[in-house]
Amino acid sequence: MSAERLKLVRDRVRGFPDFPAPGVLFRDITPLLKDPEAFRAAIDLLEAHVKVKHPQVDFIAGLDSRGFLFGPVLAQRLGVGFVLIRKKGKLPGRTESVSYTLEYGQAELEVQSDAVEPGQKVILIDDLLATGGTMRAACDLMSKLKAEILDCMVLIELTFLKGADLLKPFPLYSVLQYD
């Protein structure tokens, strides 16, 4: 990893204490998205990881909604397709869905039934991994379609919440880690 690129990305993530609730330090990627050089550096770091670890990829699958910011750009760079993993009720046609638990209740993710073929190699991407529930649900959804999950990738991992443990046996790659 390029230390210079990593520093540029880290410098463009800002913290907002007590948002959205007291005691929470919100990691805001808005400055990163506003800075083309920093955004390019983030994509460069993600791309470098994929090229080293996974030379054969069929699709990048982005989680609703911030995975849609990084996923299509990464997919385009890699010359592969992009798959939408959406909140329930947002996709036309036949879909597969998976329910998962949130702090405040239940939620569902869905994907179009023909998004991937059995055995196709998929990398999942989102902006942040906290407790891991949404990313795990996305893994379960891709597994339901019999895709081969190569990696779960995020820009930011909140390591103190131990979300990576919930993803096992699927690997996790994060550009930035916060304790």
DSSP 156-173: EEEGGGTHHHHHTTS-EE
155 pLDDT above the threshold of 70: yes
Residue 136 annotated as catalytic: no
Q: Residue 122: helix, strand or coil by DSSP?
A: strand
Residue 66 annotated as catalytic: yes
Average model confidence (pLDDT) across the chain: 96
Instruction: Report residue 44 CA to chain centroid gap.
Output: 15
Report residue 1's pLDDT band, with 50, 70 and 90 as the boundaries.
low
Q: Compute, in degrees rounded to 10, the torsion defined by CA atoms 168, 173, 176, 179.
A: 20
Whether 37 and 4 have beta carbons less than 8 Å apart is answered as no
Whether 8 and 37 have beta carbons less than 8 Å apart is answered as yes
Of 10, 66, 108, 148, the catalytic one is 66
Q: Residue 21: helix, strand or coil by DSSP?
A: coil
Whether 114 and 107 have beta carbons less than 8 Å apart is answered as no
Report residue 104's pLDDT band, with 50, 70 and 90 as the boundaries.
confident
Whether 100 and 108 have beta carbons less than 8 Å apart is answered as yes
